[in-house]
Structures are given as structure tokens and as C-alpha cells.
Amino acid sequence: MTSDSDDALSWDGDDGVPPKAPAPKGSDRAVSAPRGEAPDDAALPDGWNAVGRGSEAVGRVDTDGTVAMPAEQEASHLSTAMLLTLGVVGGVYLLYSIGWVVGGLRLKPLANLIVDDAMYVPWFVFAVAAPALWFLTVWVLTRAKAAWIRIGLLLLGVVLLVPWPFVTVGVIGS
């Protein structure tokens, strides 16, 4: 006979074997795993998140009933440091575009002495768009590369795309 305190810790028929999880859709067997670990082919429906030990081994059930394991899932998470760096560099590029607009418009009367508007305007537009184009190009071409490559190329753009007409002429009028 057991005491009341022992009865509170077990159920009738509890023999220490962990319960079996329901089988994923399309499977004819149940999945079981040691206590505290996720089974190899366990899956959660959309909207559910696995937490704790073994949660990285839990897959997702797609709408067609197939199970997508973590190795097959797309990794699209950026670290906080990377997001902060992208925001700062993106802000610098935005300021560079504004600098190209202001500096280019201030330089236009002087440039018209040497070149015609038909030559000046397309290059002016390209100069204004260059920081955004650089950022977008680096973002697309370095998606599968290491983070230091992306940061290095973005910082290279910070050095190369300085709006020199704004730096040299500035906003002081003549």
C-alpha cells in the first residue's frame, strides 16, 4: 500500500514509460521520444513554436500535410547587431543621396559652362540613385555569404559614394 503523498505523484497504470505523441499526418505510426527531447520526425502546425531542449529538431507541418524539418526551412533571421548595422549604413546612404541632390544642384551652374544638360542630367540622376543601388546590390548578392562580407561591402560603399559636390561646394550660396 502506498501513502497519499506517493499517490499524488503518479497515476494508476503509470509504469514510467513516456506517452506516445500523435503521428504526423500521412503516417501510420506514433512518434515517441525520451522525456525532454524532441523526436526526430516531430512536427508542429503553423503558428505553434517549440521551446526548450530539443526544440531545434522540431519541424513544421505544411498545408499539404508534409513535414518540413529545420534543415529544410529557410533561415531568414538577422542578428540584432546586423540589423543595427544595416539601419545605420542605410541611413548614411540616404544622407548620401540627399547630399548628391544638394551638391549636384549647387554644382549645376558651374557644370553648364563645360557640359550640356543632356550630359549632366543622366549622370546627376545616376549619382543620386547610386547609394540606393549599391545597398540593394550588396543586399541581394550577399544573401548566402558571411556577415562580414556584407558589412565590408557596405562600408566600402560608404567610402566610395561620398557626395563630393556637397563636400566641396556645400550649401553655402554664391
Looking at residue 86, what is its pLDDT? Answer: 92
160 closest CA partner among 124, 131, 133, 139 = 131
What are the boundaries of each domain within the chain?
1-73, 80-169
Q: Indicate whether 72 pLDDT > 60.
A: no
Residue with cell 503558428: 47
Residue with cell 544573401: 143
Looking at residue 30, what is its pLDDT? Answer: 45
Alpha-carbon dihedral sign for residues 30, 34, 40, 46: positive
More confident residue, 12 or 36: 12
Global pTM reads 0.55
Q: Indicate whether 25 pLDDT > 90.
A: no
Looking at residue 29, what is its pLDDT? Answer: 47
Alpha-carbon span 114 to 151, nearest angstrom: 38
Q: What is the mean pLDDT of residues 98-105?
A: 92
Highest-pLDDT range among 6-10, 12-16, 70-74, 104-108: 104-108
pLDDT tens profile 77-95: 778 888 999 999 999 999 9
* pLDDT band at residue 165 under the 50/70/90 scheme: confident
Alpha-carbon span 45 to 124, nearest angstrom: 52
Q: What percent of the chain has pLDDT over 90?
A: 36
Q: What is the mean pLDDT of residues 157-166?
A: 92
